[in-house]
Amino acid sequence: MINGGPSGFTNAPITRAFIVASALFTIFFGIQGRFNTLGLSYQDIFGKLRLWKLIISIFSFSSTPELMFGLYLLYYFRVFERQIGSNKYSVFIAFSVLNSLLFEAVAVALLKDPTANLVTPGPYGLIFASFVPFFFDIPVSTRYRVFGFHFSDKTFIYLAGLQLLLSSWKRSILPGMCGILAGSLYRLNVFYIRKAKIPELIASFFSRLSLPSMGSPRAPSTRNVVGNIPSYPARPVERNYPAPNQSAVEPSEDSIATLVSMGFDRNSARQALVQARNDVNVATNILLEAQSH
C-alpha cells in the first residue's frame, strides 16, 4: 500500500487539527443520536440559513463507516501539506470547502426539493478535491496483477474514495463531485490561487498545538507547490545520521517513490536513503534539514 511519508503528523499540523475536529464533531453528534438532523437541504441554504449547521456539515460525518474511510483519506492526503507547506495548504482547504459548498448550493437549487436533505455532511469537498492532485502528482511506484486484473499501490486509495463517494448514494455523490470540481479549479490556478497563503502566525499556531501520541515532533515544513515540484540538491548537515556505507544495499524503489511523492528530487532522495541506510524517516529528515540550511 502506498506510503504517505513519515508516520504521524510530521509537518502536517493543519491536517491534524482538521482530523481532530472531524472526529470530535462526529462522535459528539453520534452520541446524541442527531446524525439525521445533519446534512444540507434546500431550506437550509435558501430558507432559514442556519450557520451552525453549515459549519457542522463541513466537519461531521453522518456514520461510523464514513468517519473511518474519511479520516483515513484525510490522514493520507497530509502528504500535500508536506509538499506545499501549511500556509498554502490552509488556502487549499478554504478554497476547496468554500467552492464545493457553492457548487452544492447551485445543485440543490437546480434540484428544487425543499423537503429532502440532498447533501450528506462531512468534509467531502476537501477529500475529493485532494483526489485531483493525488491523480496527477502522486506517482505509481509499484504495479501488480491479481486474477488477471492490473492494480497499483494507488488502487487502495481510489477504492477507499469510491466507498466514501457511494456511502450515502446520491447524498454523498453530490458533494463528492463538487469537491472534485473545486480541486480542478485549484489545480487550474484560478485567480492565481496556488500562490496564495495564510500568514505564518496562523499556521504556526496550529504547529504549536501539542496532542500526545498523535505524531512525531515537527520538522521544518516543506514549501513546494503541488504539480510543480522543484528539486532539492543534497547538502551536508551536521547531525548524527548514519554515514554512507559503500557496501550499502541500493535503496528500494518503494522508498525512493515515497520521498519523490513528498516533493523531493529523485537523485537527492536516493542519496539520502543511501546515507540513512534505507530508513525513510531518517532520509526525510536529512532532506528537510538540507532544504532549511
Which tens digits make up the pLDDT trace of 244-261? 444 556 888 888 888 887
The percent of the chain in helix, strand and coil, each rounded to the nearest 5, is 60, 5, 35
Q: Is the whole-model pTM more than 0.75?
A: no
Mean pLDDT, all residues of the chain: 80
Q: What is the pLDDT of residue 217?
A: 46
pLDDT at 112 over 80: no
pLDDT digits 0-9 by tens, 115-167? 567 788 999 999 999 999 999 988 787 888 988 888 998 999 999 999 999 99
Q: What is the DSSP secondary structure assignment for residue 199, as one 8-state letter?
A: -
218 against 10, higher pLDDT:
10
144 against 293, higher pLDDT:
144
For residue 38, give the 3-state DSSP assignment: coil
pLDDT at 77 over 90: yes
Dist CA 29 CA 61 (whole Å): 9
In percent, how much of the chain has pLDDT > 90? 36
- AA identity, residue 52: W
Dist CA 259 CA 79 (whole Å): 10
H or E segment at 245? none
Q: Angle between the 170-187 and 86-111 helix axes, to the nearest 10 degrees? A: 130
Domains in the chain, ordered, with CATH? Answer: 13-195 (1.20.1540.10), 233-293 (1.10.8.10)
H or E segment at 133? helix 124-137
80 against 31, higher pLDDT:
80
